[in-house]
Structure 1
Amino acid sequence: MASKKPVFKPYNRDQLMAFPPTFEELIPADHTVRIVDKVINAINVGPLLEAYHIRGASNYHPILLLKVLVYGYVTNTYSSRKLAIACRENVPFMWLSGMSKPDHNTINRFRGVRLKHALRSVFEEVVKYLAAEGLLSIEEVYTDGTKIEANANKYTFVWKKAIATNKEKMKKQLADIWDYAQSVATVEDLLPEPPTAKTVSTESINAAVKKLNEVLANNDQVDKKTKAKLRYLTKNYPPNIEKYEQQEAILGERNSYSKTDTDATFMRLKEDHMLNGQLKPAYNVQISTSNQFIVNYTIHPNPSDTLTLKSHLQQHEDSFGQAPKTLTADAGYGSQENYSLLEKKEIEAFVKYNMFDKEQDGHYNKKYPFAAGKLFYNTVKDVYICPMGQEMEYQGNVKKITSSGFEQTSRKYQAKNCNNCPLNGACHKSKTNRIIEVNVDLKNQKQRAHEMLNSEQGIRHRKKRCYDVEPVFANIKQNHGFRRFMLRGKQKVEIEWGLLAIAQNLRKKAA
């Protein structure tokens, strides 16, 4: 019996075609690249065109480069070199670019320079386009933040505390040698105190070093060890203090930065592959979403979400001419300053405070029965009643200034005869009579937040927040593998995240 031969489909690479296929035939009608092309063709890109000047050689069209970049971020192609290769070899990119072949320098320069002042307007136009289609709302948003690692060396760090420590060491060593100089110098040679006594600065260090050299350098009574110290501080202290002042200028209000990206601050990242909570240079990315579309984004150098809300809301107003009507956020934003800001802007806020979730837990309430928030307040006498029924009298106000400059005022109340109380040790741990501080404004704000969050509408917003804003970060980080910025500097990082935001919105529309 004859064996059967395998059957193959025809393969002839040199076969001529009467009607060769076009790119239009090769790309399906529902392909994502067509969404990118359609949306960018439909929006106003005037600010982008204005970034070009009428001089020099001809340029690749900015709409071409914008489409290539956006589609690159949609398909997880972030490298300018890979984008340049894709324009030569990848069918959707070749169709999108009209067979143009921009090199990686052109793409990178366009991303880092031309988009510097234009990408925000492109993002806003995309959001408005999607809102007009009814896919999202700019009035009802869900806000959250995440930390993304910067393109910076984690071992080239500068810490504000280390600078302060080194300046104090310099001050102490100068004071020691100044005291020694006083003992060997005449009365008219030295001032009563060194110039660094009040402040350590370039001027004071230089003045102290100059004066010490005048007194000690050529004095035969000075021992060799002291002269060696004098030579060391003369050589090192002036340049060191100048370096510290430059670093402090870069730090500003921050506690740290990386030398390879001075805009990046050291933060603890959840996605730490070493699982040891190591500090890394990063940026705090804030977004507001609606139906998993990104409506607004801002980049911040400070790790705390609490301090980001004010500028984030301001950006929303700058982009769309008005603040959102409704905002939902987690406990990271629940501060007196933020509640006051939301009230001032008349935003319906569903924002948790730090103890909200624990207060919903009955076990927690049983565990801390003597918490200050559970004490009875007598409004007539203005006293709190301690667990044993004794009055805690008003002692005055306490004012505090937060790191952002916001002033908080608390009322202080103190109990009596705690030493003989049978609940002493269980009610509080202080060795003196118990003192509580009550921020009345914050207490009222938390009460209103509690009522809002537990209302029918509040419960709906709380549930929706978990599957509206949080999956957006998960999609960008987990599904699309973006865990580290490629560009350096806050301005370029904003461009990169703006491209990611546009890509997220267009991917969502295509889905």
Structure 2
Amino acid sequence: MVLFPQRIDENIAENDPVRIVSSIVDHLDMSSVNKLYNGMGRCPYHPRMMLKVIIYAYMNNIYSCRRIEQLLLRDIHFIWLAGYEKPDFITINRFRNRLKDEINNIFTQLVLVLADKGFVSLDVEYVDGTKIESKANKYTFVWRKTVERNRARLIEKVKALLAQVDDCIAQDNARQDETLEVTPSLLAEISDKVNASLSDPQLDKEEKKKRRKIAKELKERSGKLGEYDRHLENLGDRNSYSKTDKDATFMHLKEDAMNEGLTKPGYNLQIATENQFITNFALFPNPTDTLTYIPFMESFRERYGHFASTEVADSGYGSEENYEFMELNGTAAYVKYNRFHIEHRPQYVPDP
């Protein structure tokens, strides 16, 4: 009792950030977070207390669950926030994972608190983006052009194989016409029929060997075709993705120490600010800022129920589609296009 005070809050200043975090979280609507818990079983740590600890740790650039666990035993700010509770690092990590789908709602509530206090108006967006690297392996890339080229070659090989299949086996499946859609299931079915035909006693040894080889190749081609189709499904409208992080797209990042122009798996993080407060954020797999602007503005409307009346952004967002979208929604656009400064030079000559 001599070494440790009975009331640790006496050593925490009235204007300390930890008190601000505690006060704000106490006024948040946590009903959606509470629904994530099962009513049965052992009584859990209170989610409001856990959220306070997580937010305050992130404010101090502490992201390790083990480190947070240690601070809950050593730091009076964390001890005061947790009310002397001592969740271990596994519990902290589980809560953080459980909160992933609700963090957007919590962020929106915090911004609305700022708007209610008059710090932001939610009428103007200052938008910029940055690319952040994924934790995926940089050598696990899948490129659309390569997949489409290899798939087209595979289809040609498959059609050549189907031409060798006996007509009596392939008459229902392998008609050589333009409407034939080659699918993995179709190839697997034809392969099974070719294997079934090997029991015909009229076939000689050479013919059986030939058909067995065709059936094996069709089975292999079926698996490879299924793999290419899965790649195209994961790609969607993107040009690349990482096998170990299917949401990440390969793009050029600023962190290129050797200046070799290498692409790495990453995300395009778009951020909107006002009065130095972040009011909106969104992650996109598209490396081009121009194509992310309209969906980013729509995400702002989903959060707050309206578009910002003023948009401010650099020339990376300037395009005819974006200008037209802002004009239709009554938004004043302070957004340059990429040739703005070139066209305003004295020596510039218009060239249609």
Q: Do both proteins adopt the same fold according to a TM-score greater than 0.5, normalized to the shorter chain?
A: yes
Deviation at residue 257 of structure 1 after TM alignment: 1.8
Q: Which amino acid aligns with 1:371?
A: D
Distance 1:172 1:313, change over 3 A: same
Number of corresponding residues = 347
Q: Does 1:135 align with 2:135?
A: no
Distance 1:167 1:39, change over 3 A: same
Which of 183, 204, 208 is the aligned partner of 1:201? 183
Distance 1:195 1:112, change over 3 A: farther
Which of 151, 169, 194 is the aligned partner of 1:167? 151
Give the Cα–Cα distance (whole angstroms) in 1 for the partners of residues 96 and 234 of structure 2.
Answer: 25
Q: Aligned residues: percent identity?
A: 37
Deviation at residue 16 of structure 1 after TM alignment: 4.3
Report the counterpart of residue 111 of structure 1 in structure 2: 96
Report the counterpart of residue 302 of structure 1 in structure 2: 286
Kindly indicate whether the alpha-carbon contact (under 8 Å) linking 2:191 and 2:215 is maintained by their aligned counterparts in 1: no
Report the counterpart of residue 420 of structure 1 in structure 2: none
Deviation at residue 200 of structure 1 after TM alignment: 3.7
Deviation at residue 123 of structure 1 after TM alignment: 0.9
Deviation at residue 68 of structure 1 after TM alignment: 0.9
Report the counterpart of residue 292 of structure 1 in structure 2: 276
State the Cα RMSD in Å: 3.1
Report the counterpart of residue 342 of structure 1 in structure 2: 326
Distance 1:196 1:104, change over 3 A: farther
Report the counterpart of residue 315 of structure 1 in structure 2: 299
Distance 1:162 1:93, change over 3 A: same
Kindly indicate whether the alpha-carbon contact (under 8 Å) linking 2:131 and 2:269 is maintained by their aligned counterparts in 1: yes
Report the counterpart of residue 97 of structure 1 in structure 2: 82
Kindly indicate whether the alpha-carbon contact (under 8 Å) linking 2:188 and 2:219 is maintained by their aligned counterparts in 1: no
Report the counterpart of residue 462 of structure 1 in structure 2: none
Tell me the alpha carbon deviations over residues 197-252 of structure 1, each in whole angstroms, 9 at most, x when there is no partner.
7544224433565677689995666698x778636523411122222222322222
Give the Cα–Cα distance (whole angstroms) in 2 for the partners of residues 228 and 164 of structure 1.
Answer: 29
Deviation at residue 126 of structure 1 after TM alignment: 1.0
Deviation at residue 21 of structure 1 after TM alignment: 6.5
More deviation in 294-303 or 87-96?
A: 87-96
TM-score (norm 1): 0.61
Tell me the alpha carbon deviations over residues 116-147 of structure 1, each in whole angstroms, 9 at most, x when there is no partner.
34222211111111122222221111111111
TM-score (norm 2): 0.86
Distance 1:170 1:223, change over 3 A: farther
Report the counterpart of residue 351 of structure 1 in structure 2: 335
- The correspondence of residues 81-480 of structure 1 with structure 2, limited to 5 A, is 81-113=66-98, 115-179=99-163, 181=164, 194=176, 198-206=180-188, 209=191, 230=214, 232-363=216-347, 365=348, 369=349, 371-372=351-352
Deviation at residue 174 of structure 1 after TM alignment: 2.5
Runs (5+) with no aligned partner, structure 1 = 1-14, 373-511
Distance 1:20 1:175, change over 3 A: closer
SS of 2:271's equivalent in the other structure is strand
Report the counterpart of residue 15 of structure 2 in structure 1: 30
Kindly indicate whether the alpha-carbon contact (under 8 Å) linking 2:191 and 2:216 is maintained by their aligned counterparts in 1: no
Kindly indicate whether the alpha-carbon contact (under 8 Å) linking 1:178 and 1:212 is maintained by their aligned counterparts in 2: no
Kindly indicate whether the alpha-carbon contact (under 8 Å) linking 1:149 and 1:282 is maintained by their aligned counterparts in 2: yes
Q: Which amino acid aligns with 2:41?
A: G
Deviation at residue 166 of structure 1 after TM alignment: 2.0
SS of 2:56's equivalent in the other structure is helix
Report the counterpart of residue 51 of structure 1 in structure 2: 36
Tell me the alpha carbon deviations over residues 148-188 of structure 1, each in whole angstroms, 9 at most, x when there is no partner.
11222222232222221221121222233455x38xx6x76
Report the counterpart of residue 385 of structure 1 in structure 2: none
Larger Rg: 1
Tell me the alpha carbon deviations over residues 466-510 of structure 1, each in whole angstroms, 9 at most, x when there is no partner.
xxxxxxxxxxxxxxxxxxxxxxxxxxxxxxxxxxxxxxxxxxxxx
Tell me the alpha carbon deviations over residues 334-371 of structure 1, each in whole angstroms, 9 at most, x when there is no partner.
222222211121111112222113223335x1xxx351
Q: Does 1:75 align with 2:55?
A: no
Kindly indicate whether the alpha-carbon contact (under 8 Å) linking 1:171 and 1:197 is maintained by their aligned counterparts in 2: no
Distance 1:340 1:215, change over 3 A: farther
Kindly indicate whether the alpha-carbon contact (under 8 Å) linking 2:191 and 2:219 is maintained by their aligned counterparts in 1: no
Give the Cα–Cα distance (whole angstroms) in 1 for the partners of residues 128 and 299 of structure 2.
Answer: 15
Deviation at residue 272 of structure 1 after TM alignment: 2.8
Report the counterpart of residue 40 of structure 1 in structure 2: 25
Distance 1:198 1:331, change over 3 A: farther
Tell me the alpha carbon deviations over residues 303-351 of structure 1, each in whole angstroms, 9 at most, x when there is no partner.
1222222222222112111111111112222222222211121111112
Kindly indicate whether the alpha-carbon contact (under 8 Å) linking 1:196 and 1:205 is maintained by their aligned counterparts in 2: no
Kindly indicate whether the alpha-carbon contact (under 8 Å) linking 1:195 and 1:204 is maintained by their aligned counterparts in 2: no
Kindly indicate whether the alpha-carbon contact (under 8 Å) linking 1:213 and 1:230 is maintained by their aligned counterparts in 2: no
